[in-house]
Structure 1
Amino acid sequence: MKHIAKTERVGRRGLSLLARLARYELGALLCILVLSGGIWGFIELADDVSEGDTQSLDETLLLSLRNPVDHTDPLGPGWVEELGRDFTALGGVGVLVLVVLVALGYLLLARRYRAALLAAVAVPGGILLSTIMKAGFDRPRPDLVPHDSIVYTASFPSGHAMMSAVTYLTLAALLIRVQPELKLKAYILGVALLLTLLVGISRVYLGVHWPTDVLAGWTAGAAWAALCWLAMRWMQRREQVAS
């Protein structure tokens, strides 16, 4: 009987190990798909935008968020427009720097030094990449409606959309890697996705970006976050092998 019970325990442990390994490899596969899909999506969007193929759709979607009688007036009452400004601030440099510093503080206090180092490199690196791409494409801002937010740079890709995706999704990817519970992983990822979506939508609502600008920012930012997740995974596996 003791031999049978021991065999059952070993079997259960083996099944549990296989289940964890399957989830581990599935996460890596999903990140590779996001990375490759994001790169492909951005290249396709950039090509279509450069050739002017998206202009008609961009104008239609942008004007759909405006009063049909008065295009200077965004849809909804004044408090909705104010919410748009609040949401767009979540993708601003000041807010993102503060979020990164808070996350770095948490990772350092939790003694997750490798994750903190990666976050300190990945987020500024993604923001720098966004700046370089904006300067390279140099797409003009929408001129159909007034800008309800101050802008200084070119339009493609949306810096707010990409920087929010880079920051929130990258930090979520790093925090998920150090969280053991599935429900916490899902919560962190859900919050990051929600913040990223709100920032991007608000940029179109405020008339400072074409919809394809935002979509390009999302795809590039998601690809960068997936790359960071894979880098974190590689670092952790290397540490486990070394130990």
Structure 2
Amino acid sequence: MLTTASSRLRRFLAARLSPEGEMGLHLTVGLALLLAAAWIFGVIAEDVVTGDTITLVDVRLARWFHDRATPGFTRAMLFVTHWNSIAGSCVMGALLAVWFWRRRAHYWLIVCLVAVPGGMVLNVALKHVFQRARPSFDDPLLSLLTYSFPSGHTAAATVLYGLLACYLVRRVHAWRGRVAIVLAAVAMVMLVALSRMYLGVHYLSDVLAAAAEGAAWLAICITAVSTLHRRRLARGETSWSEHAAEDLR
């Protein structure tokens, strides 16, 4: 009986780590990323709600940025933050969707149409759950009346640039190219997060939680669509383009 149980366990693990199959490696990696990102978000959210040490760091860092603001850097950060605003993210998301459609990458198109607007709705819902006030200054660089936690700009940037990076990584085979793509996506998210903190409309914990939120949501979307694609292949449904099939493998 022990031998049978061990054999079943080995078969189960082999299936979960196999790059093929509808419940293989893609699902294992997706669930691992989802759980890790959700855990990070939960830890940060708990610390914010209970007023833990991170909230003290939040206030000090917000004041540090505000005291060192310069006109030139403020203009640069305003450009970054407006470019990656909700309206800007919607435009970039629409352009990315058109690009996927023109390339006949239908499954990636589905991910884009679900992940980008869905992530924005999720962020608004979380803001109303936590209802955290934004940083307050006597002479603010930028004033907003909505809630602070988590950062909508950072979450949208994580989903958008993360989605683009995932697609490009699947298309590029050289490891240096893949590393460069991932680093560029991370840099863009960090730049957006920096702009929100510098302008005094978000705390450090806001942008960290938003990045985790965006990563978790993107993992859900990509994993779900990839599983759908693999199930269609397993059932012999090949009505969609071969480009879409190759992109998600």
Q: TM-score, normalised by structure 2?
A: 0.77
Question: Residue 93 of structure 1 aligns with which residue?
Answer: 86
Paired residues of 2:153 and 2:193 also in contact (CA < 8 A): yes
Deviates more, 1:125-134 or 1:27-36: 27-36
Match of 1:60, as an amino acid?
Answer: R
Take 1:185 and 1:115, find their aligned partners in 2: how far apart are those partners?
Answer: 18
Q: 1:133 to 1:236 in 2, by over 3 A?
A: same
Take 2:116 and 2:56, find their aligned partners in 1: how far apart are those partners?
Answer: 34
1:8-41 deviation line (CA, Å, top 9, x unaligned): xxxxxxxxxxxx949xx76655443321111011
Take 2:138 and 2:231, find their aligned partners in 1: how far apart are those partners?
Answer: 52
Q: Pick from 140, 150, 163: which aligns with 1:147?
A: 140
Give how far 1:82 is off. Answer: 1.1
Q: 1:199 to 1:125 in 2, by over 3 A?
A: same
Question: Residue 36 of structure 2 aligns with which residue?
Answer: 37
Take 2:138 and 2:77, find their aligned partners in 1: how far apart are those partners?
Answer: 15
Matches within 5 A, 1:215-230: 215-230=208-223
CA RMSD of aligned residues (A): 2.6
Take 1:120 and 1:97, find their aligned partners in 2: how far apart are those partners?
Answer: 10
Q: TM-score, normalised by structure 1?
A: 0.78
Paired residues of 2:80 and 2:192 also in contact (CA < 8 A): yes
% of aligned pairs identical?
29
Question: Residue 159 of structure 1 aligns with which residue?
Answer: 152
Give how far 1:200 is off. Answer: 0.7
Give how far 1:185 is off. Answer: 4.4
Take 2:197 and 2:140, find their aligned partners in 1: how far apart are those partners?
Answer: 10
Take 1:62 and 1:193, find their aligned partners in 2: how far apart are those partners?
Answer: 22
Gaps of 5+ in 2: 1-17, 237-249
CA radius of gyration, larger in:
1
Match of 1:63, as an amino acid?
Answer: R
Match of 1:56, as an amino acid?
Answer: L
1:150-190 deviation line (CA, Å, top 9, x unaligned): 4231011111111211222134334544x253455444433
Take 1:38 and 1:146, find their aligned partners in 2: how far apart are those partners?
Answer: 35
Match of 1:58, as an amino acid?
Answer: D
1:170-215 deviation line (CA, Å, top 9, x unaligned): 34334544x2534554444333222111111111111111111111
Take 2:195 and 2:138, find their aligned partners in 1: how far apart are those partners?
Answer: 14
Question: Residue 70 of structure 1 aligns with which residue?
Answer: none
What is the DSSP-based 3-state SS (H/G/I as helix, E as strand, rest coil) of the residue aligned with 1:117?
helix
Paired residues of 1:90 and 1:195 also in contact (CA < 8 A): no
Take 2:144 and 2:98, find their aligned partners in 1: how far apart are those partners?
Answer: 31
1:103-147 deviation line (CA, Å, top 9, x unaligned): 111111111122212211221111100001101111011114643
Paired residues of 1:161 and 1:218 also in contact (CA < 8 A): yes
Q: Pick from 110, 130, 137: which aligns with 1:137?
A: 130
Take 2:155 and 2:207, find their aligned partners in 1: how far apart are those partners?
Answer: 8
**Count of paired positions:** 216
Paired residues of 2:165 and 2:185 also in contact (CA < 8 A): yes
Q: 1:105 to 1:180 in 2, by over 3 A?
A: same
Q: 1:225 to 1:147 in 2, by over 3 A?
A: farther
